[in-house]
Amino acid sequence: MASLLALAVAALAAFVTVRPVVVRAAACEPVRIPLCRAMPWNMTKMPNHLHHSTQDNAVLAIEQFEGLLGTGCSPDLLFFLCAMYAPICTIDFQHEPIKPCKAVCERAKAGCEPVMRRYNHSWPDSLSCAELPLYERGVCISPEAIVKADNSGSVFVSALERCKCKNVRMGQKTYLKNNYNYVIRARVREVRNRGLEPTAVVEVREVLKSSLVNIPRETHTLYYSSSCLCPPLTPGEEYLIMGYESEERSRLLLIDGSIAQKWKDKMSKKIKVSVCW
């Protein structure tokens, strides 16, 4: 066992120093890395945080850790590795893969680096904890954010971040600058903040602008781009909402930069003129 572990650690140290070529980000895709299929997310995004362009490349890299995982050096190690090699991805979070939180990395390192040092190796620079976000300050994923949702055994990520929403002022300048895809007046029925895709269910009262997604005047679902829930919506309140569309998924999106302002009747005439600018 010791000799096999030594070989695994040596191979790991040699392998992780190679950084594959960075390529343009693609859409979310199902997780195919065997070690990570037990994670509470089933969609990932390439390139990953180690710049592997495909999951096939990532499999070869993460398998170098099997010997270290076998030691049980840290209960956080597999979670951390999968968050790095098969990062969680939501359909409408298309900017970059979500990183593991710094504390998860530090716990994995504290438990496993002593084992690596027995074989004259240290924690890989490519897995440095220094640049990872703090749970309190940025978007990241950690085991603390995973909760049981019901008795069926389903698991959900209850929180990917703690953050503050941007204060976006409604006005002609903002409307023209942000080029919103849709503008609706709607009453909020429910805000669902569980799972990988937080949503708001609204009753559409009036469609002031739409582009590629059909918006019937009935109950409709708006999809937040992250668990930050920006802009915030209060159930029972009526809002003027300006946001964007996902043409690929035929969805109305809410991102940090969308507008959700409580509706006042005096806004109607001004808004109808505004969306025709």
Give pLDDT tens digits for 91-141.
545 556 788 888 899 999 999 999 999 989 899 999 999 888 876 555 678
Last residue of a domain, one of 112, 127, 142: 127
pLDDT score at 160: 43
The phi and psi torsions of 197 (rounded to 5 degrees) equal -135, 85
Task: Please give the helix or strand (H or E) that residue 2 lies within, else none.
Answer: helix 2-15
Nearest to 121 by CA among 1, 266, 6, 37: 6
d(CA 164, CA 49): 25
d(CA 79, CA 60): 17
What is the C-alpha end-to-end distance of the chain, expressed in Å? 71
In the DSSP assignment, the letter for residue 98 is P
Quick check: helix, strand or coil at residue 26?
coil
CATH number at residue 88: 1.10.2000.10
pLDDT tens-digit map of 55-78 = 999 999 999 999 999 999 999 999
Ranges of the chain whose pLDDT falls below 50? 1, 4, 7, 9, 11, 13-25, 92, 147-162, 276-277
pLDDT score at 91: 57
Cβ-contact 87, 45 below 8 angstroms = yes
Q: 35 and 116 share a domain? A: yes
Domain residues for the domain of 43 are 29-127
Last residue of a domain, one of 127, 142, 157: 127
